[in-house]
Structure 1
Amino acid sequence: MTTEFALDLRLARRKAGYTQGDMAHLLASHQSAVSDLELGKIRPSLEQIIELSLIYGRSFESLFGELMAERRKLLKKRLSCLPDLGKQTAHTFNRPASLERLKRRLAKPSKNGGA
């Protein structure tokens, strides 16, 4: 995880006036885990992402735009080298259209900077 995310998380906490101990209590975690999040050593769990969004009153994308951009880039790379299907069957009929929709979604820049 990059430093920008960690700094944003730390800044949001400080702006709100919370201590790392406060955040640890609210997240049902340990102060060291909050520190690790703010240093970029670990990524938050899905539950923590939801709780952080609620605590700071920010949308997922505004809080985690950088992470969204990183995942978007990786998905684009994986999509570009997805193996051909070979023989189409009834259960793979929608695959080409679904892959095209995914490609279009990944090409769109995010509203909140998650490019």
Structure 2
Amino acid sequence: MTTQFALDVYLARIKSGYTQSDVAHLLDISRVTISRFERGNSEPSLQDILALSLVYGRSFESFFADKLRRRRQRLLKRLQNLQPLTQPTTKHANREANLQRLARRLEADLAIHDWA
């Protein structure tokens, strides 16, 4: 996990007033594991991330805002370089419309979050 994620998890716990032991008990993991998450020395499982989101009252996305921004930018760039199909068939009928929708959605998300 990134240092930013570790810092976010740490600050969420401090802001909530919980101890590492409190969070460890709620997630049914060891206090040492919580400490490792907060120092960026261990990657939480998806289940742990979901539980942390619930415990701290934060959206899943809020823990990964920076990663999502970079991924949106990368997808948008790759989308612009996607090659057209040489022999489209009926099973590809929605491809172009969906690619355009994806591009608009990525651009809108980047603009909304001022991440462009």
TM over 0.5: yes
Amino acid of the structure 1 residue aligned with 2:35: S
The answer for the alignment partner of 1:100 in structure 2 is 100
Q: 1:67-82, aligned counterparts within 5 Å?
A: 67-82=67-82
The answer for the alignment partner of 1:83 in structure 2 is 83
Q: 1:58-73, aligned counterparts within 5 Å?
A: 58-73=58-73
The answer for the alignment partner of 2:40 in structure 1 is 40
TM-score (norm 2): 0.75
CA contact (8 A) 1:65 1:112 kept: no
Decide whether aligned partners of structure 1 residues 112 and 7 sit closer, same or farther in structure 2, where only a CA change above 3 A counts: farther
Amino acid of the structure 2 residue aligned with 1:105: R
Structure 1 residue 112, shift from structure 2 partner? 8.0
Amino acid of the structure 1 residue aligned with 2:20: Q
Structure 1 residue 113, shift from structure 2 partner? 4.3
Partner secondary structure for residue 58 of structure 1: coil
Decide whether aligned partners of structure 1 residues 85 and 93 sit closer, same or farther in structure 2, where only a CA change above 3 A counts: same
Decide whether aligned partners of structure 1 residues 7 and 50 sit closer, same or farther in structure 2, where only a CA change above 3 A counts: same
Q: Deviations over 1:44-94 (max 9, x none)?
A: 433223212211112223333223213212322332333332211111110
Q: Hey, what's the Cα distance between the residues in 1 that align with 2:109 and 2:10? A: 26
The answer for the alignment partner of 1:13 in structure 2 is 13
Larger CA deviation: 92-101 vs 104-113: 104-113
CA contact (8 A) 1:23 1:34 kept: yes
CA contact (8 A) 1:68 1:114 kept: no
TM-score (norm 1): 0.76
> How many pairs were matched up?
115
Query: Structure 2 stretches of 5 or more lacking a match?
Result: none
The answer for the alignment partner of 1:57 in structure 2 is 57
Query: Structure 1 stretches of 5 or more lacking a match?
Result: none
Structure 1 residue 110, shift from structure 2 partner? 5.6
CA contact (8 A) 1:62 1:113 kept: no
Q: Hey, what's the Cα distance between the residues in 2 that align with 1:2 and 1:97? A: 35
Relative CO higher for 1 or 2, CA cutoff 8 Å, sep ≥ 6?
Answer: 1
